[in-house]
Amino acid sequence: MAEVSKPRRTLFGSERARDEALTAYLFLSPYLLVTLVFTIGVLLFAVYVSFTEFNLFTWPPTWVGLENYKEALTDRRFIRSLVNAVWYVIIVVPAQTTLALFLAVLINSKVRGSNFYRSIYYAPSVTSSVVISLIFWWLYLKTGYLNFGITEALGAVGREWAAIEWLNDPRGLFQLLLGPFGVEISFDLWYLRGPSITWMAIMFQNIFTTAPTFMIMFLAALQDVPPTLYEASAIDGANRRHRFFRITIPMLPPVILFIVVLGTIGTWQVFDQIKILTSGGPLNTTLTPVYLIYVEALGTSGPPRMGFAGAMAFFLAVIIFVFTLIQRRYIESGTEAY
């Protein structure tokens, strides 16, 4: 085109520069519009509501200052939900990371059809958490397959098993462990009881569904290990075990850190399973921060209190934000594939 080759002066310099800038702003406009309203606008609104007392029926909000924050810090259920979340993170994150690494290493060993196994392992994770929860709800019944499996297994070594109602059992882990030694932990000391059986059942379900996802990420990292390293070590006479512990594992810490952080962010925000399976019960042992925020905001257990929910959301956001910062540093350190 003749006109393109003739540079003309405009606001942005040449005609090309002007076209580029205008095109760019137009291409970005949907993003900017939506983000300004539904991210930035909503974020500012979130700050505002956390200082007010209101719900959809008592519009406009009334200003209460720091009351909601003070209340959140002393609210028994909120503290409870944070403690539950800490248990969840402590148990689920190491377990799912280890399992994922194990699966990834297993698939990465040069077998024919490793792609096939990779797909098969990942397939259950494509279904929604609602579907998985419904299926586990059924497996966890008192007459369900889990109790049946344990009964059969223990029966084979001649021991009895009293079927457990997995999703309705508030007994804590430490309570169970210490019980045989005659130590009783009263209900007031709930924080010493440890995660309840129900909570651990949900943890198990979560490990089951997230490990394959993290396995894929580990696999991607393992396949980035330069094959020359393995070849060189093989020439030096290293066997399989040596290669795994001396080459593969030392290459992994950044990926492990990344997956641990990612898993941690995810586990702080558990909601679906709680909504479907337990509604926070029994005895609040499976109450999570996001579920509590949801319940408070919609008023499922009393009048809706959106300001209070907003204040709790801020505390939760601070915790998550710390982990996000760690993750962000990892992303920016140059490993862009993850």
> Is residue 49 a contact residue for another protein (CB under 8 A)?
yes
Q: Which residues inside 188-247 make contact with another protein, applying CB under 8 A?
A: 208, 212-213, 216-217, 220, 234-235
User: ω before 282 within 30° of 0 (cis)?
Assistant: yes
Beta-carbon count within 10 A of 83 CB: 15
Q: Which residues inside 169-188 make contact with another protein, applying CB under 8 A?
A: none
DSSP H helices, 75-226, are: 76-108, 114-122, 129-139, 145-156, 173-178, 190-193, 197-222
Nearer CB in complex with another protein: 160/188 = 160
| 3-class DSSP state of 63 | strand
Q: How far is the CB of 270 from another protein (least distance, A)?
A: 11
Contacts of 16 (CB under 8 A, 6+ apart): 4, 7
> Is residue 38 a contact residue for another protein (CB under 8 A)?
yes
Q: Which of 8, 9, 41, 232 binds another protein (CB under 8 A)?
A: 41
Nearer CB in complex with another protein: 26/157 = 26
Phi-psi region for residue 13, left (φ > 0), alpha (ψ -120 to 50) or beta? Answer: left
Nearer CB in complex with another protein: 109/186 = 109
Fill in the amino acid letter for 216.
Answer: I
Q: Which residues inside 86-105 make contact with another protein, applying CB under 8 A?
A: 103
> Is residue 27 a contact residue for another protein (CB under 8 A)?
yes
Q: Which residues inside 272-331 make contact with another protein, applying CB under 8 A?
A: 272, 275-276, 289-290, 293-294, 297, 306, 309-310, 313-314, 316-317, 320-321, 324-325, 327-328, 331
For the chain, state the CA radius of gyration. 26
> Is residue 258 a contact residue for another protein (CB under 8 A)?
yes
Q: How far is the CB of 205 from another protein (least distance, A)?
A: 9
Burial tier of 299 (Cβ tally within 10 Å: 0-12, 13-18, 19+): middle
Measured distance CA(38)–CA(44) in Å, rounded: 10
> Is residue 262 a contact residue for another protein (CB under 8 A)?
yes
- The interface mask with another protein, positions 131-160, x = CB under 8 A, is xx-xxxxxx-x-xxx--x------------
